[in-house]
Structure 1
Amino acid sequence: MGKMIKLMLFSLTIVIFLYGCNSNNKNEDIFQFKDSFVGDNSAVGNIANQLRSGENLKGFELKTKEKPYGIILNYDWLASEQDYKETAIYNATFLFALVQNAEWITFNFDNQEYQITKENLQAWYGKELSKFDNEEKLRKLTEEYLKEKNKAGELFK
């Protein structure tokens, strides 16, 4: 009987170890989801989970019944209004670059809601986001724009 319990505990330990190794890997190349569609629940979920505050994402909705198609991201996270705006801009930038038919994204934080359209965000940057082909270049662009203190606020006026 003792051998059986040891074997079960050993097996359970191996299973837990393997599960931990296969859990959501933030080092995964997010650009593997380039050219996804709003209707691809798995791709949108994987992208959103890898972005800023992905650990606080409590759910999302895909609006695909009629154009323009959009995404609603719901976060369970308390932060400052500036953090919410910067997170919305950063995450929208990546989603619009990777999800080809997304036209708008609504971000629901604890008590704040922000909606960003692809058209407005691209005008703000002066660049077409779908032209980006790697994470580093897109991250640099976003961080450069977010460095300026009041730049994030301009998008939401």
Structure 2
Amino acid sequence: MLLAAVLFIMGACSPLLAAEEPDLFEYEGAVVGNNSAVFNTLNMLPGAEHFTGFELETKQQPYGIIVSYDWTQAASSDKETAVRNATYLFTLIDNVDWVQFDFDTGAGVGQYRLTREQLQAWYEVDLTGIDEQEKLEELLEQYLDEDQKIDALLTQS
């Protein structure tokens, strides 16, 4: 009886544990034309609770993604979120050449557009070569430590 109770409790808790840390690399190798892979990836990135929609630009190259957020209630930096999420998208989605983030702050829309070339030059790393979330997080920690660095990158756009 005790064994059955323990197994029941473990079974009930395991989905909760799995839900705590999403597998952002689940859709690694996806392409811009795969709506569900892009949508599911965006839903796992920082700021997802403010995510309102996206558009895929796939009619002609260069291919891109436009992501929209309602940032009126957000506490985190829109600039850092843009760089962090662009980094993930360029790492996980093979053929995306640019991403644009539109942050509706209530007082206007902050817009940031980054290209794969621009971001890879900033990091001095080919993002497609990163195949583990831990490695990508280490890279992000190294480069997203100063607002001045982020501002400099975003003013190049």
TM-score w.r.t. length of structure 1: 0.80
1:112 to 93, 110, 113: 110
State the 1:88 CA deviation: 0.4
Asked if 1:135 corresponds to 2:129, the answer is no
1:44 to 27, 38, 41: 38
Specify the alignment match of 2:80 in structure 1: 86
Separation (CA, whole Å) in 1 of partners of 2:24 and 2:125: 20
Give the residue type in structure 1 aligned to 2:67. L
Cα displacement (A) at 1:136: 1.1
1:144 paired residue number: 142
Q: Which residue of 1 aligns with 2:153?
A: 155
Q: State the 1:77 CA deviation.
A: 1.1
One-letter identity of the residue aligned with 1:57: F
Cross-structure match for 1:69: 63
In the comparison of the two structures, how many residue pairs are matched? 136
- Quote the offset at 1:27 in angstroms: 2.1
Alignment CA distance shift 1:77-1:149 (3 Å): closer
| CA–CA distance in structure 2, aligned partners of residues 101 and 50 of structure 1 | 20
- Residue number in structure 2 paired with 1:54: 48
Contact 1:26 1:50 in 2 (8 A): no
Match of 1:97 in 2: 91
Mark the runs of 5 or more structure 2 residues left unpaired by the alignment.
1-14
Question: Unmatched 5+ residue regions in structure 1?
Answer: 1-20
Question: Alpha carbons of 1:120 and 1:26: their partners in 2 closer, same or farther (altered >3 Å)?
Answer: farther
Superposed CA RMSD? 2.0
How much has 1:26 moved relative to structure 2? 5.4
Deviations along 1:48-99, whole A, 9 cap, x unmatched?
111110111000011100000000000011358x811100000000000000
Aligned partner of 2:123 in structure 1 is 125
Deviations 1:5-47 (A, max 9, x none): xxxxxxxxxxxxxxxx69xx45231111111000011111111
Give TM-score scaled by structure 2 length. Answer: 0.80
Distance in 1 (CA, whole Å) between partners of 2:44 and 2:20 is 6
